[in-house]
Amino acid sequence: MELTVYLAGEIHNPWREELRTQAIKWNLPLTFTGPMEDHDRSDLIGEKILGKQPTTVLRDETASSINNLRTQILLSKSDVVIAYFGDQYKQWNSAMDAATAITLNKPVILIRDEKLHHALKELANKAQLVVETPEQALKALAYIFE
């Protein structure tokens, strides 16, 4: 049995890379997918494909169409979602991805520093598991294969 794990959230720190490296070390049969991790590429993908847009709102709209296309397809193919919340940015699309997965009956593991707990409390309550580090999330997935 293999599992596909969608890695939602924070793209400005190397948590995905750490997780992928650790999973290989532990020899876990996991395939990881996730959003575009290059912030500029993600913001500009709309204009890159569809050409210059007349307004910033439209540039955003074309980019988000394509980012959401990517997310919808990858989420639908995932068995479990790990969502990492950092202390910067609004991260509304991370919250959206997590809630979408939960509503589609895919379990979500939330990673967040305890100091973020208050603001995240409703989402934490809906997640299947709340941890503080990527390694803890990976240990929980490893437990499934024991």
Please tell me the distance from the alpha carbon of residue 134 to that of residue 118, in angstroms, as a whole number: 20
Tell whether residue 126 is a contact of its own copies (CB under 8 A). yes
Q: Indicate the residue type of 63.
A: A
Please, what is the minimum distance in Å from the beta carbon of residue 118 to its own copies? 6
Residues from 54 through 83 that contact its own copies (CB under 8 A): 54-58, 60-61, 63-74, 76-77, 79-80
Tell whether residue 12 is a contact of its own copies (CB under 8 A). no
Binding span for its own copies by CB under 8 A among 7-15, 21-29, 111-119: 111-119
Which of 18, 33, 44, 47 touches its own copies by CB under 8 A? 33
Binding span for its own copies by CB under 8 A among 7-15, 16-24, 129-137: 129-137
Tell whether residue 139 is a contact of its own copies (CB under 8 A). yes
Tell whether residue 19 is a contact of its own copies (CB under 8 A). no
Query: How many other CB atoms sit within 10 Å of the CB of residue 134?
Result: 22
Please, what is the minimum distance in Å from the beta carbon of residue 12 to its own copies? 14
Picking from 95, 81, 86, the residue whose alpha carbon sits closest to that of residue 140 is: 81
Please, what is the minimum distance in Å from the beta carbon of residue 30 to its own copies? 12
Q: Indicate the residue type of 82.
A: I
Nearer to its own copies, 27 or 56 (CB): 56
DSSP-based three-state secondary structure for 7: strand
Q: Is 133 in contact with 111 (CB distance < 8 Å)?
A: yes
Question: Any bridge partners for residue 9, and if so which?
Answer: 84
Please tell me the distance from the alpha carbon of residue 145 to that of residue 2, in angstroms, as a whole number: 9
